[in-house]
Amino acid sequence: MLRDFITSDAHLFETIHMGSVEVDVERWRLQVDGLVRRPFSIGLEGLRRLPTASVTAFHECFGSPLVPASGNLLRVGNVRWTGVRLAVLLEQAQLETGATHVWSDGLDSGEFGGRKMNRYRKDLPISKALSHEVLVAYEMNGAPLTRERGGPVRLIVPGWFGTNMTKWLCRLSVRRRRASDPFTTVWYNRDMERGGAVVREPVWEVEPNSLITQPAPGDTICTDKVEVKGWAWSNNGVSGVALSTDGAATWQSAEVRPRHEFEWQQFAATLPLPRRPSSVRIIARARDADGSIQPLSGARNTAHSVQIERRLASS
């Protein structure tokens, strides 16, 4: 289902914590306030009159914030978003000095993880909020955002986990601290190793990850070579993908397409297969621009593998 460069709406995962929202587009306004000189609100027509920006970006769900992942969920796709740069709206509002975060609110309310909430609230540091790739989007893959995708308008934070991309967006508020709400402080934080120390960090930047799309699991190959293809992605871009057919003893480098914008990158290689009939497990492992490599087990970005059957051609 994920062989195409652009993932169709039908093939893209969906994550909704508390229930989707039917928004009355005629009455919907986005409020921009907080530490700004000129707070304002804007409707959908107003947003559409502002300069349009688009970005192609991989889109990945972190997984459940209640149950730590022990393996790769591969809740991922690659889509094109269109809307207005968040920086354009913040410029119009005129930031006050001391602003450090932008809080984003979604209109959904309900219960999750034993807590009752009347909004979905996330936050971004101001440096990311002002980056040119961050959008207040009203289209996905050239079509208006559907209700399930967070229409009419959602936040898009390319390179960062899906949880940061607030759907049914209704308010952007500029602040001088992080939001102390369940989705920013109780959930979606994790311990990361940084220079030898363990640091608790928000679930922001996506680490290297990859997915084999060809061959498919269980495919039968009757030649002594197999063509392997797939996608690799990471917040800061993937610099290499290595493939193994001998249980991670030896690795062969794949060709990796250079990255444009925040899109996922195709990798491809032709691997030799044993001469005798056997089961072969192909493992793929991506390395990002900082040299960080996918682990072989136990992590949410565990290297993906596909098992195929090497057979002899019937004569």
Ligand X SMILES: Nc1nc2c(c(=O)[nH]1)N[C@H]1C(S)=C(S)[C@@H](COP(=O)(O)O)O[C@H]1N2
Contacts of 315 (CB under 8 A, 6+ apart): none
As measured in angstroms, the least distance from the Cβ of 67 to ligand X is 13
The reply on whether position 117 binds Mo ion by CB under 5 A is no
CB of 101 to Mo ion, least distance (A): 20
Among 78, 166, 234, 244, binds ligand X (CB under 6 A): 166
Contacts of 89 (CB under 8 A, 6+ apart): 30, 32, 42, 50, 136, 172
**13 sits near ligand X (criterion: CB under 6 A):** yes
Q: Segment contacting Mo ion (CB under 5 A): 58-66, 120-128, 192-200, 206-214?
A: 58-66
Q: What does the block give as tokens for 165? A: 């991309």
Q: Select 16 or 248, whichever has its Cβ closest to ligand X.
A: 16
Cα 260 from Cα 258, distance rounded (Å): 7
* Residues in region 144-163 near Mo ion by CB under 5 A: 162-163
State the CB neighbour count (10 A cutoff) for residue 313: 7
Residue environment code for 274-310, b if the CB has 16+ CB neighbours within 10 A, otherwise e: eeeeeebebbbbbbbeeeeebeeeebbbbbbbbebeb
Q: Which of residues 37-96 bind ligand X (CB under 6 A)?
A: 59, 61
Q: Which is nearer to ligand X, 59 or 128 (CB)?
A: 59
Beta strands 135-140 and 154-156, pairing class = antiparallel
Chain centroid, CA 194 distance in Å: 22
Q: Is 44 or 269 the residue whose CB approaches ligand X more closely?
A: 44
Give which of Mo ion, ligand X, none residue 13 binds (C-beta under 5 to 8 Å, depending on kind): ligand X
Binding ligand X by CB under 6 A: which of 85, 101, 128, 149? 149
Which neighbouring-strand residues pair with 35? none
Here's the x/- map for ligand X, 89-128, by CB under 6 A: it reads as -----------------x-x-----------x--------
In the list ligand X, Mo ion, none, the entry touching 108 (Cβ below 5 to 8 angstroms by class) is ligand X
d(CA 118, CA 105): 10
Q: Which is nearer to ligand X, 60 or 288 (CB)?
A: 60
| Residue that is written with structure tokens 């057919």 in the block | 245
Q: Could you list the residues that contact Mo ion (CB under 5 A)?
A: 15, 61, 162-163
Q: Could you list the residues that contact ligand X (CB under 6 A)?
A: 12-18, 59, 61, 106, 108, 120, 149-150, 162-163, 165-168
